[in-house]
A and B are shown apart, each in its own frame.
Chain A
Amino acid sequence: MAQLTLKDVRKVYDSKVEAVRSFNLTIADGEFVVFVGPSGCGKSTTLRMIAGLEDITSGTVSIDGRVVNDAHPKDRDIAMVFQNYALYPHMTVYKNMAFGLMLRKLPREQIRERVERTAILLGIDKLLDRRPKALSGGQRQRVALGRAIVREPKVFLFDEPLSNLDAKLRVQTRTEIKNLHQRLRTTTVYVTHDQEEAMTLGDRIVVMSDGRIQQVDTPLRIYRAPVNRFVAAFLGAPPMNFLNGTLNSREGGIWFDFADTLPLRMLDRHADALRPHLGRPLVLGFRPSATSESPTGKFAGQGNAMRLEAAVVEPMGEVMDVSCRTPKGQPVVVRIASRDDLKAPGPIELHLDMDHVHIFEPGEFGRNLVV
C-alpha cells in the first residue's frame, strides 16, 4: 500500500508535443483515483510516467515518499492492466500470472498458491492451462486483472481496461473492479475516457484536458459543482445544456436574460459573486435532470420558468428525455417524469431547480461563477 505523489510533472514528446503540463496530485494510500478526459489529453502519458514506461521531462513522481523518476518499472512495485491486455501469447494463463512472481524469485510452492488463490477470486481457475488465444475477451480481461493482482503491488495502474469489452460485460466488470478494490484497498490509478466509468469507480476523479488538470474532486462534487464549462460539459449524460445571455440587476434581484426565452432569476446567495459580471455576455448551464414540469418542491418559486418547443421524446421508464428548442432554435435536452400525453412537436413549460443552475464565463473553459 502506498501514497503516490506527482509534483510539477511535465512530459514533452520529441521536444515538440507537450502531452502533460505541470501535473500536481497526491493520491492517498488505498485511494481509487480516475483520470478522465477526451482522447489525447495526456491520461495514458501520465499513467505511463507513473509506471516508468515513459521518461519524465521534468517534475517528480514519488511512491511512498521515494522519488522514482529514474527507477526501472520493475523497481517501482506497481502493476498495470493494459487496454489490449498484453497477455503473453506463448504462455499459459498460469504462466502469465506466475511470470512476475517467478522473476521475483518467489518459492515455487508460494507462487502456485498465490496464482490459484487469485484465479479462484476471479473465477478463472478452470482456465489456467489455456493459452490467451483460447480465451474470450472477458476472460482475457480477467487474466490481465489476475496478473496484476497476484503480484500484490503497492499501486495498480489501469489504462482503459474495459474499452474492448461489450457494454454488458463492461458494466459487470466495472462492478467487479470496484468490489476488488474495496477488498484489497490497493492504491489505484484508473484511466478512462468514459465519464460514466469515472463517476461510478472513482473515490476521486481527475478531469483532464490538453495535458492539464481541470478539476480534482469526488464524483458527486465534480458533478454538482464543476469549476468550469469544460468539466460541466464532460461529465453527465445527457450533457449539460448551455444557453447564452447576460446578467442584469432589477426588481431587487439579478436576472439572466436570454435573447429568445423567459429570463431566470438568480438565487440571492449568488448575488455577490455575480454582480461584477452584470451586462457581460455569459453562459447559463443546467443539467437535463434539473428541470420539472410541475413547479413543486425544489422546482417551486418565481423566475425559474422556461418555455420551449418539445421536438423529440425518448421515454426511458420512470423518466423521459425530451429534446427541445428555444424559439430561436437553440437545443435544450430535459429529463422529466414520464407522461403519455406530452405532445411533440408542441410547447412545453419547465421549471428549473435554481440551486443547480450554473453561470459560466464565455469560452470552452469559462469559469463557473457560482461555485
Chain B
Amino acid sequence: MSDPATRSRRSFSVPRALGFAALVVLGATFTAPFLWQVLISLSSLTDVDLLTRTGFPPVLKPENYPQVFRKVEFARYFFNSFFVAGWVTLLQVITSAMAAYAFSRIRWPMRDRVFLLYLATLMIPGVVLMVPNFAIVLGLGMFNTYWGLIVPAAFSAYGTFLLRQFMLTIPTSLDEAAAIDGAGHWRVFTQVVLPLARPGLIVLAIFTFLGNYNSFFWPLILTKDDNLRVLPIGLLAFDSTYGRETPLIMAGSLMAMVPPVLVFVVLQKYLVKGIQLGAVKG
C-alpha cells in the first residue's frame, strides 16, 4: 500500500478533481442542516423567521443554552437518557453475545430452527409489540420505572443475529484448542470468543446505544413522572407546554447529540483495532 503522503502528491487529474468536487458537495449537504441548527440555537425566538432571509441572526443569544437547563429538568433528562441507553447497551451486548455463542458454538437439538424462529420475530413490526409489551411490563410492576425502560430492550434478536454471524467467522478450531487446553464453555466464551468478537460487539454497542438514546415512543407511554423522562421527550416540552420555542429545541438537541458523537468517536478507535486483529492465519 502506498502511504497517504505520496498519494496526495500525485499529479492533478480531471477525474480526481471531479471526485473531490463531488465529495465537497456531499459534505456540504450533510453539514448544512447542522450549521442551520447552530444558527437557530443562537438566535432569539423572534429572529428565527428572519434567518431564512438574512442567513445570520442579528443578535447572538448564547444564553439559550443555559436557558434550556433552567426551563426544564434538562440535566435530569440527560442523565436518564444516558443511564437507560447505557444499561440497555451493556445488557443487550451481554445477552446477545451469550445467545450468539449458544447459537453458533454449542451443539443442541433443533438449534438452527430455534434460531430461525427467534430471527423471525424481527419481522413483527415494533408497533405491534407495543401493546403486549406494555401489558407485560405493567403486569411486572415496571410501569413508570427505570426497569420498564431498560429490561424490555435488554434482549435483541437483531443483536443475537449480528453477533452469531460474526462468531461464525471465528474458526472453531480455536475453541477446540482451548477446550483441549482445559477451558470449559465459560472460558472459551470469555477468553477466546469474546475478545475475537470485539469488532462485532462494538458495532452492536454503537447501534444499540444510538438507537436507544433516540427512543421516543416507548419511554413516552411508559413513564409519567417528569424525573423519569428521557431527552427526546424532555425536548418536547418546548413544543407544547411552553409554546414552540425553536431556538431552545435546537440548543437542546445540539447538546443531546454530544454523547452519541462521543460514543462513536471513542469506540470506533477500538473498532479499527479489532478489525486488524486477524484470524488464524495471516
Contact = CB atoms under 8 A, between A and B. Distances in A.
A253 interface: no
- Report the 4 A-B pairs with minimum CB-CB distance, sorted nearest first: A100-B181, A103-B182, A86-B173, A74-B182
Given A84-B281, A133-B277, A100 B182 contact: yes
Interface in B174-215: 174, 176-184, 187, 191-192, 195-196
A82 interface: yes
Nearest to A75: B182
A88 B192 contact: yes
A137 B280 CA distance: 11
A164 interface: yes
Contact of B178 (A79, A85, A99): A99
Given A84-B173, A99-B178, A103-B187, 10 more contacts: A51-B176, A52-B180, A53-B179, A78-B180, A80-B177, A82-B177, A84-B171, A85-B281, A86-B173, A87-B280
Given A51-B180, A73-B179, A103-B182, A86 B280 contact: yes
Contacts of B195: 90
A242 B281 CA distance: 42
B103 to A, nearest CB: 19
A292 to B, nearest CB: 47
Interface residues of B, number: 23
B24 to A, nearest CB: 38
Contacts of B279: 89
6 contacts: A72-B179, A74-B181, A82-B177, A88-B174, A89-B277, A90-B277
A208 to B, nearest CB: 22
Interface string A55-88: 0000000000000000011100011101011111
A151 interface: yes
B181 A99 contact: yes
Interface string A128-169: 000011000100100000010001000000000000100000
A183 interface: no
A16 interface: no
A250 interface: no
Contacts of B282: 133
Contact of B280 (A74, A89, A100, A147): A89
Interface residues of A, number: 28
Contacts of A88: 174, 177-178, 192
A303 to B, nearest CB: 56
Nearest to B281: A84
Among A53, A78, A80, A86, find the residue whose CB has the most chain B CB atoms closer than 10 A. A86
Nearest to B280: A84
B243 interface: no
A74 B183 contact: yes
Contact of A82 (B176, B192, B277, B278): B176
A104 interface: yes
Interface in A12-70: 51-53
A136 B142 CA distance: 57
B71 to A, nearest CB: 50
Interface of B: 171, 173-174, 176-184, 187, 191-192, 195-196, 277-282
Given A74-B184, A133-B277, A164-B281, A86 B179 contact: no
Contacts of A72: 179, 184
B173 A82 contact: yes
Contacts of B174: 86, 88-89
A277 to B, nearest CB: 49
Given A74-B181, A100-B181, A100-B182, A86 B187 contact: no
B184 A86 contact: no
Contacts of A79: 180
Contacts of B278: 89, 133
A89 B187 CA distance: 16
A89 B184 contact: no
A259 B146 CA distance: 93
B271 to A, nearest CB: 15
Contacts of B177: 80, 82, 86-88, 147
Contacts of B181: 74, 99-100, 103, 147, 151
Contacts of A147: 177, 181
Nearest to A97: B181
Contacts of A85: 280-281
A137 B281 CA distance: 8
B280 to A, nearest CB: 5
A73 B192 CA distance: 16
Contacts of B176: 51, 53, 73, 80, 82, 86
Nearest to B176: A53
Nearest to A85: B280
B279 to A, nearest CB: 6
Among B182, B191, B192, B282, find the residue whose CB has the most chain A CB atoms closer than 10 A. B182
A100 B277 CA distance: 22
A79 B180 CA distance: 6
B212 to A, nearest CB: 29
A151 B182 CA distance: 10
Contacts of B192: 88
A100 B179 CA distance: 9
A205 to B, nearest CB: 25
A103 B190 CA distance: 13
Nearest to B181: A100
A270 B159 CA distance: 73
B22 to A, nearest CB: 37
A99 B176 CA distance: 13
Given A53-B176, A103-B187, A164-B281, A86 B171 contact: yes
B272 to A, nearest CB: 15
B264 to A, nearest CB: 24
Given A84-B173, A100-B182, A151-B181, A90 B196 contact: yes
